[in-house]
């Protein structure tokens, strides 16, 4: 059974990874348990970026610009 402090560690690592990915203007689009790797040191890594895109953020920016113009 996973202890609560371990769950928080996993959540923190995944949120930190997603923050980095989104900061680079990419969306993973296929985040699932099979795409989470665990190192020997117990660090969690997000893998398989074959479905990732940066068009997601372009579409959001274009949508926001249209709203601001109205």
* CATH assignment at residue 23: 1.10.510.10
Return the H-helix or E-strand segment holding 45.
strand 44-46
Q: Which of 62, 54, 46 is nearest to 23 (CA)?
A: 54
Is 70 exceeded by the pLDDT of residue 67?
no
How many structural domains comprise the chain? 1
Report pLDDT digits (tens) over 8-53.
Answer: 988 998 999 999 988 888 888 899 999 999 999 988 889 998 888 8
- pLDDT at site 54: 80
Res 51: pLDDT: 85
Tell me which residue range forms the domain holding 40: 4-69
């Amino acid at each position: 059974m996973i202890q609560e402090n371990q769950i928080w560690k996993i959540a923190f690592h995944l949120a930190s990874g997603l923050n980095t990915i989104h900061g680079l203007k990419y969306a993973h689009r296929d985040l699932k348990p099979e795409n989470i790797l665990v190192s020997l040191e117990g660090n969690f890594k997000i893998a398989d970026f074959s479905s990732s895109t940066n068009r997601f953020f372009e579409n959001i920016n274009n949508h926001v610009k249209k709203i601001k113009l109205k």
